[in-house]
Amino acid sequence: MAALQLIVNPAAGRGAGVRATPQIEHWLHELDVAYDLVHTERPGHAIELASAAARNGYGAAVAVGGDGTANEVLNGLMQAQASGQCLPLGILPVGTGNDFGHGIGVPHDLQEACRCLKRGHRRWIDVGRVSGGQWAEGRYVGNGVGIGFDVTVTLEAKKLTWASGALAYVIAVLKTLFLYYRAPLITVQADGEVRQKHYLMISAMNGQRFGGAFYTAPHARPDDGQFDLVLAQEVSRPAMLALVGRYMRGTQLSHPKIEALHARQIHIEAEGGLNSHADGEVFMIDGRTLEIEVLPHQIEVICEPEELV
């Protein structure tokens, strides 16, 4: 394989990305993996760096960061692919949630993730595309889109400078229970099927997990050509707390207030305003409409073989 382009987000995981870089370089040297390394300097920079990596003949573009970094690298590679320059995506997880990597079969342990890069096993996965809010022109998504309750959780987790990883999200959930309660009336069209209710949270998932600990769509597969769409209806605050535990165990799908289906094309419209994130990046606050679609088998990722995950 040609040299890898490592794209390091120094801010990922509250500085974990830059702190982990010397150890990553040591492990890759031991594994005899050729690479170049570059740091991002601003939001959106990883998109440019990944697109350039495809043009410059690297063997893969590797996101060294969290889900936001991986999302930017994914978008850069998809842009390059539109010009006929295809390049695999790799992930070294040093962020807060690392849900995208989990969903495609990248080891959580950083040293094992380096060994995964060395082995170089690949698979094709689906990619989502979401349009709305700050991304009216559209943006590619690897792990999933969240609407409602978990957006507030994401924003609260970012405020917790003293906590990291899944702990930050768990604490943020508990705070959000007291901040976010009334759910807007939302109309969901999923492959033509229409549902309208007061939904507390909507998740359109390519992967299984959000927030490092919440198995939002435990049976989702990133290569089946469809999103797992999970709709949580409005419930009381005590019931919300109970649902949090179910989401952490991945058992919420049996709850009577949870609806689950599969869809390729999703249109969402709200009377009371939509808050939404994609791969952990908030892009819509108090919006009205959202479009989500699945693009089957769009990009190769470097990961563990499925039988080892």
Residue 229 has pLDDT above 90, yes or no: yes
116 with 92, same domain: the answer is yes
**Cα distance between residue 137 and residue 129, in whole Å:** 10
Nearest-5° angle of CA 50, CA 157, CA 76?
Answer: 10
pLDDT at 11: 84
Q: What number is the average pLDDT over the span 173-192?
A: 85
101 with 185, same domain: the answer is no
Domain final position from 122, 149, 180: 122
Q: What number is the average pLDDT over the span 269-295?
A: 92
**Cα distance between residue 151 and residue 179, in whole Å:** 12
Reported as a pLDDT band with limits 50, 70 and 90, residue 135 is very high
Nearest to 227 by CA among 134, 292, 284, 290: 292
Distances (CA, A) of 113 to 17, 82, 92, 118, 155: 14, 28, 6, 9, 28
Mean pLDDT, rounded, of the chain? 92
94 with 177, same domain: the answer is no
- Percent share of the chain, pLDDT over 70: 97
Residue 308 located in a structural domain:
no
111 with 138, same domain: the answer is no
For the chain, how many structural domains are there in total? 2
Residue 63 has pLDDT above 70, yes or no: yes
pLDDT at 309: 56
Question: For 178-182, 193-197, 291-295, which range has the lowest pLDDT when averaged over its residues?
Answer: 178-182
Structure tokens at 154: 């994401």
134 with 96, same domain: the answer is no
Which parts of the chain are beta strand (E)? 4-8, 35-39, 60-65, 89-93, 122-132, 135-141, 144-148, 185-190, 193-205, 227-233, 258-263, 265-278, 281-302
pLDDT at 96: 79
Q: Pick 178 or 37 by higher pLDDT.
A: 37
Digit-coded pLDDT (tens) for 104-119: 999 999 999 999 999 9
pLDDT at 181: 64
pLDDT at 164: 66
Question: For 60-69, 86-95, 214-223, 266-275, which range has the lowest pLDDT when averaged over its residues?
Answer: 266-275
CATH of the domain at 207: 2.60.200.40
149 with 277, same domain: the answer is yes
State which residues form the domain around 159. Answer: 130-298
Domain final position from 122, 153, 171: 122
230 with 170, same domain: the answer is yes
Residue 203 located in a structural domain:
yes
Residue 146 located in a structural domain:
yes
78 with 169, same domain: the answer is no
pLDDT at 132: 94
pLDDT at 174: 82
Helix (H) or strand (E) holding 20: helix 16-30
Largest CA distance in the chain: 56
Reported as a pLDDT band with limits 50, 70 and 90, residue 244 is confident
Digit-coded pLDDT (tens) for 165-176: 677 778 887 888
Residue 180 located in a structural domain:
yes
| 241-269 as b/e: b if 16+ CB within 10 A | eebbebbbeeebbebebbbbbbbeebbbb
Residue 294 located in a structural domain:
yes
Residue 84 has pLDDT above 80, yes or no: yes
Residue 306 located in a structural domain:
no
Residue 175 located in a structural domain:
yes
228 with 161, same domain: the answer is yes
Residue 308 has pLDDT above 70, yes or no: no
- Tell the burial category of 139 from Cβ atoms under 10 Å away from its Cβ (0-12, 13-18, 19+): buried
98 with 223, same domain: the answer is no
**Cα distance between residue 295 and residue 297, in whole Å:** 7
Domain final position from 73, 99, 122: 122
Please state, as a whole number, how many other Cβ atoms lie within 10 Å of the Cβ of residue 25.
15
CATH of the domain at 76: 3.40.50.10330
Q: Identify the bridge partners of residue 90 per DSSP, sorted by sequence position.
A: 62
65 with 210, same domain: the answer is no
240 with 176, same domain: the answer is yes
pLDDT at 307: 65
| Cβ contact 12:65 at 8 Å | yes
Nearest to 205 by CA among 275, 262, 153, 269: 262
